[in-house]
């Protein structure tokens, strides 16, 4: 008897890996930017300094998602 295929996944499994890897940095960026917005609302005069600090933090969080892109392409 012929096996019946009901569902099939084709393509690279790395795309699912990227999706999973984007969850953590996504939450991290949300917290980071949200807290910065809060701090800016409390102290508008600190705005530029807070923004700079936020962007450094964003860079460190973002690298996790970017590593997922790179590993997906390499392996």
Q: Which residues bind to other proteins, rule: CB under 8 A?
A: 48-49, 52, 55-56, 58-59, 62-63, 66-67, 69-70, 73
Dist CA 40 CA 42 (whole Å)? 5
User: Closest separation between CB of residue 63 and other proteins, Å?
Assistant: 5
> Taking the CA of residue 45 as centre, how many other CA atoms within 13 Å lie in the half-sphere pointing to its CB?
0
Dist CA 7 CA 50 (whole Å)? 49
For the chain, give the longest Cα–Cα distance: 75
* Closest to other proteins by CB, 16 or 67: 67
User: Closest separation between CB of residue 19 and other proteins, Å?
Assistant: 14
* Closest to other proteins by CB, 37 or 70: 70
User: Closest separation between CB of residue 12 and other proteins, Å?
Assistant: 10
């Amino acid at each position: 008897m012929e096996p019946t295929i009901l569902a099939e996944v084709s393509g690279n499994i790395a795309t699912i890996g990227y999706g999973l890897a984007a969850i953590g940095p996504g939450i991290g960026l949300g917290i980071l930017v949200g807290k910065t917005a809060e701090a800016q609302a409390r102290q508008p005069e600190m705005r530029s300094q807070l923004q700079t600090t936020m962007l450094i933090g964003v860079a460190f969080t973002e690298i996790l998602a970017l590593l997922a892109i790179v590993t997906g392409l390499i392996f």
